[in-house]
Structure 1
């Protein structure tokens, strides 16, 4: 983003032409006989300028007579335009001015300007002007400039560049001002170290990442099409054919010349520019003062002046209410599918460790959230323990649901070109309804991802349930769960609608999680498990629900695990079926890891409980309105039955009397 305004402080010995330079820049003409110092001048940005140019620049004229004011202006400056004009003022650049800047603690870019070069060109006194032709004179001037500029550039890293100017001839005045702006908008210091003549390490890392992201077919070369795409992204226009050919020839010549690049492959005809060639190309830009080209590339990939990616891009602000959730949008899923297919080099339908490492090469590494949740075994893997496309999408779905900032961060690192927020969508806030004096969650219509907490006594089978959920085979060995575990997978419900379910068990943290009311609000459905073959197992749930009354505000599904073993009578104040009847929820579902159909039924039921919370929320007796309808239906039937009985009795009585009278 462009800096709002930059402050350029013009300083130097009195009489070097500072005021004339400013006046010439503003009026576009030489103005003689100016006052000693001009008031600050504001120059608005030209609409044709780069979008990274400041909206305005303020030029501040100074004089060495007022040192306190000079020091004040220097301390509040963004860039220093240091001017000298003769041998005496040149000597004071190193001996006085640069020392002053350092003593003030001013670490700013300095643009060194040799002014009054009109006298140099034409001869201040006309000496030898007729004896030296123009070409020889230009060559002599260049040599003089090199002798003056190079020692300063080598000694003072603050000096970014040097230029000669003339206010009288309007020579390079605009260019000098542009260099001042460019030192802020496109600083050379973060990119290139002129003392060793190399790109700085952070620049190399950033450019390597950009090369990898731009190499769409991942063949190690930037072909013409990939270069054109990079050009359009960086500068908004296609690369010129002649310029492209010039770049290729330059790199090819450097590769075959007996110089520093002779051992590097920079360009391969028919394939494209290599990574080394891309780095060398940007090094040449910096050496030749064209580092704004490199900055154009870096800024297109959201790099800041410190060569870190902009936090506002990595973590864009999103408006999310407390009870809403964040999911991937179709754009997000499409990007992740394309990413998976690109890096599945062996086309086996899974990403192995090497493919994953290469995929995450443009990022800080596999997300911390993933390593903490035992990826890839938190989702679906194939027989070689490689994450499948189904598991890949499920893992990102879970990541987005639990911490969407990680998703936006990694989407940017992985090269999404659009705003990362477009890859996400925010669901509506949960609504509540009331029945029989109890509030409960309303049915869900816009969510595809649901979070389920798996709660139960240790050894009840929670871990095996999670492993079965992600397709892992059942193991007889038992390992107590210490740290939290998580599993995510997709499910298909009636109507071919796809949903994602996230199962979590908390190990030793379970008591603390259950006491945390705010944490429990993040849960969509509770899966309350007990071992049906262990008579002591259900009492844990009974005590838990009575101890934590807030759990009864959530939908819950009771599950009797290990149903393939002999069922035991529970040693509890109340049996599971009777307890669920009291809560007005379904009886426990009997499940076994050996019965795949029962597992699928459970996972679907958990998802449906997230979609329609009322059906599984404790304490909700049948709907009162429905009871009233049923009552009147029963009353009508009863009335009809009574009426029919009365009519039948009356008719039978009359018939009986008539028969009796006849017999008499």
Structure 2
């Protein structure tokens, strides 16, 4: 909500614009005022809405035209003043003033102000006033309301500016169709979403407890029993189906807000909308969906215990048949308060655990959110908001982990969700390995990977549950990923997959390692299709020798087809937990290239100093030992170990 309001008064000469402003400031009538009073600033603490208010006067003469048009363009709301004793000043509102605003391209709320009601003879009913104003409001949607006042008495002067403030801070136009007297579709959609979120047990009604929680969230005060009974009685009397089983239905909830708006209590509906993240265009604000959440480099993001509890509660609430899985229709209901399923383009639920019917289990549901949070925490933040996270901020449902480099240096990993890159030649069995990890059946038909694939599952390590995310890129994206130092800093493990029955498969991953700088990543080699005949690899050394030279364990042999996976996923997680155990060439290779360079220069300096000391030592030491002994001259010793010349 904005923190300042600029109110401009316009109208024909002599209608009393300057007098209205003076009466507000002086709280009494001033007979003689200047032609145009200076701009007035009212501090926030003396306004009902606690906003800074600027009140601007204007003249209507030819000499005032340039200033008037400038102020019209700067105004947040325009009060068009007419005089009760001058019908022509009223007639010029639809024929001159309102078309003039549109001609200038200005679209702000307009308040019609009828001044000098003290000069009217006889009583005027609300119905008679409505007959005059409604045709103008029907033609010009920017007209919010009409207020009659008297600057002389003074009467209703403060109400003029109160309604002007409300027109800016709590506008009618986005919420209500004044011609048809109904809520606008965008307003209905927003209120329906709010109703669904507040209906925590999803039984289609807001019971007393849910209404109280709604009242506390929006207005910081519980509903008194008498108030609750009064609401139910009014809705039941005027809205068909508005009350059921003693609770407020969606129809009743919408009816209440319609009544609030029709009675001029727009601030009530706007307070509700803003508490649930809506801006004036009735879209959820960026600040609501994406609150500030800083993630240092080399750190990752996981769900906190509060986050896991929230998603567990969501699962259990929408699992209506209590079969331990969310079916398609139940998932649709889960995401009915959001733009839709966030994983619709990812072949979900193939990415996680599901039952035989394809319904997502609780373990698969939590694993999927763990993966989403690791790979794109902003999506999780937004969906926590969409789904109605009940805390003060959805950021408390996430937590930032310790930096990977610090974990490796300390030799103790504190994270619970691990990322593993799976690389290898086309047809080597990477996709089959990912499908097996997600509990999907083996598919003998080969389909080339055209875009990155992510799967996730929970892995039990000594009674502690970890989540492992496997990523396969496909030949189109693999090189792009591996050449990016930013992306190669992200995985906890890299798995090189080769087809043990294909003589050329291992050369592909050997070339990958030579082409890209990947030796800082803990590494595992996997040989797939162990059910087929083992082929001699066309490579300078065979895979087992290659791995031993890198101080790594030999390739883990698996057969997805036969279900023989050799506990490979536990092995990956154990490597992630103890990264220094699987660095190619030894743990010191885990250092970044820059750190290795610094170490090189340090060692060079140290070794240079040691060499100088040795030279001095050998020049000064004299022993009676013979040629070839340790006490022999330096040149003789070199010849002795240097072999034939």
Relative to the length of structure 2, the TM-score reads 0.86
1:512 aligned onto 2:508: no
1:188 shift after superposition:
0.3
Distance 1:217 1:17 in 2: 57
Instruction: Please list, as runs of the form range in 1=range in 2, the aligned pairs for 1:120-159 lying within 5 A after superposition.
Output: 120=120, 123=121, 138=123, 140-159=124-143
Structure 1 residues not aligned, in runs of 5+: 124-136, 256-263, 434-439, 625-664
For 1:481 and 1:72, the matched residues in 2 are separated by 61
User: Match of 1:557?
Assistant: 524
Does the 8 Å CA contact 1:490/1:501 hold for their aligned counterparts?
yes
Residue of structure 1 in register with 2:643 after alignment: none
Q: Deviations over 1:331-373 (max 9, x none)?
A: 1111111000000000000000000001100000001xx1232
Q: Does 1:404 align with 2:381?
A: no
The reply on whether 1:225 has 2:225 as its aligned counterpart is no
State how many pairs are aligned. 584
* Equivalent of residue 73 in structure 1, options 52, 71, 74: 71
Output one character per residue of 1:487-527: Cα deviation in whole Å (capped at 9) or x when no partner.
10111213x22221100112232333333333222222111
Partner of 1:467: 435
Deviation at 1:93, TM superposition (A): 1.7
Which SS does the other structure have where 1:551 is aligned?
coil
Aligned-pair distance for 1:405?
1.0
Whether the aligned pair in 2 keeps the contact of 1:193 and 1:200 (CA below 8 Å) is yes
Give how far 1:420 is off.
Answer: 1.6
Instruction: Assess if the C-alpha contact under 8 Å between 1:13 and 1:84 holds in 2.
Output: yes
Answer whether contact 1:45 1:57 (CA < 8 A) is retained.
yes
1:416 equivalenced with 2:393 (yes/no): no
Distance 1:49 1:493 in 2: 60
> Distance in 2 between the 1:278 and 1:310 partners?
23
Q: Which has the larger radius of gyration?
A: 1
Query: Mean Cα displacement is larger for which, 389-398 or 580-589?
Result: 580-589
Aligned counterpart, 1:267: 243
**Is the 1:486–1:504 Cα contact (8 Å) retained in structure 2?**
yes
Aligned counterpart, 1:95: 95
Maintained 8 Å contact 1:442/1:612 = no
CA shift in 2, pair 1:143/1:557, >3 Å? closer
* Unaligned segments of structure 2, at least 5 residues: 590-598, 600-645
In structure 1, distance between residues paired with 2:34 and 2:77? 24
Offset of 1:141 from its aligned partner? 4.0
Alignment of 1:221-300 (within 5 A): 221-255=205-239, 264-268=240-244, 270-300=245-275
* 1:334 equivalent in alignment to 2:309: yes
1:372 aligns with 2:345: yes
Residue in structure 2 matching 1:84, options 68, 82, 85: 82
Quick check: 2:413–2:578 contact (8 Å CA) kept in 1?
no
CA distance in structure 2 between the partners assigned to 1:92 and 1:503 by the alignment: 71
For residues 425 and 216 of structure 2, the distance between their equivalents in structure 1, rounded to whole angstroms, comes to 60
Distance, in Å, in 2 between the alignment partners of 1:476 and 1:95 is 77
**Residues of 2 paired with 1:488 and 1:401: CA distance?**
11
**Inter-partner Cα distance in structure 1 for 2:287 and 2:494:** 36
Question: Structure 1 residues 411, 574: closer, same or farther in 2, change over 3 A?
Answer: same
Q: Equivalent residue for 2:290?
A: 315
Matched, 1:180 2:176: no
CA distance in structure 2 between the aligned counterparts of 1:147 and 1:533, rounded to whole angstroms: 89
What SS class does the counterpart of residue 241 from structure 2 fall into? Answer: coil
CA drift of 1:109 comes to 0.5
Q: Which residue of 2 aligns with 1:540?
A: 508
Matched position secondary structure for 1:161:
strand
Specify whether residues 537 and 147 from structure 1 end up closer, same or farther in structure 2 by C-alpha distance, changes over 3 A only: closer
When residues 458 and 106 of structure 1 are mapped into structure 2, their CA distance, relative to the original with a 3 A threshold, is: closer
Q: For 1:195, which of 179, 199, 206 is the aligned residue?
A: 179
Determine the structure 1 residue equivalent to 2:276: 301
Partner of 1:246: helix, strand, or coil? helix
- Name 2:418's counterpart in structure 1: 450
Contact 1:442 1:613 in 2 (8 A): no
Moved over 6 A (4+): 594-597, 621-624
User: Cα gap change, 1:34/1:387 in structure 2, threshold over 3 Å: closer, same or farther?
Assistant: same
Tell me if 1:60 matches 2:60.
no
Aligned twin of 1:587? 554
Per-residue CA distance 1:74-126 (angstroms, 9 max, x = gap): 11111111111132211222222222212222211111111111233xx4xxx
- On the 8 A contact 1:441/1:613 being kept in 2, the answer is no
SS across alignment from 1:530: strand
Match of 1:45 in 2: 44
Distance, in Å, in 2 between the alignment partners of 1:622 and 1:71 is 72
SS of equivalent residue, structure 2 residue 518: helix
> What's the CA shift for 1:472?
2.2
**Larger deviation, residues 286-295 vs 354-363:** 286-295
Q: Which position in structure 2 is the counterpart of 1:616? A: 582
Deviations 1:281-302 (A, max 9, x none): 2222222222221111111101
Measure the CA separation in 1 of the matches of 2:323 and 2:372. Answer: 24
Tell me the equivalent position of 1:522: 490
1:597: Cα distance to partner? 7.5
Contact 2:432–2:560 under 8 Å retained in 1:
yes
User: Root-mean-square deviation (CA), in Å?
Assistant: 2.2
Deviations 1:545-569 (A, max 9, x none): 2233x02222110112233444333
The SS at the match of 1:499 is strand
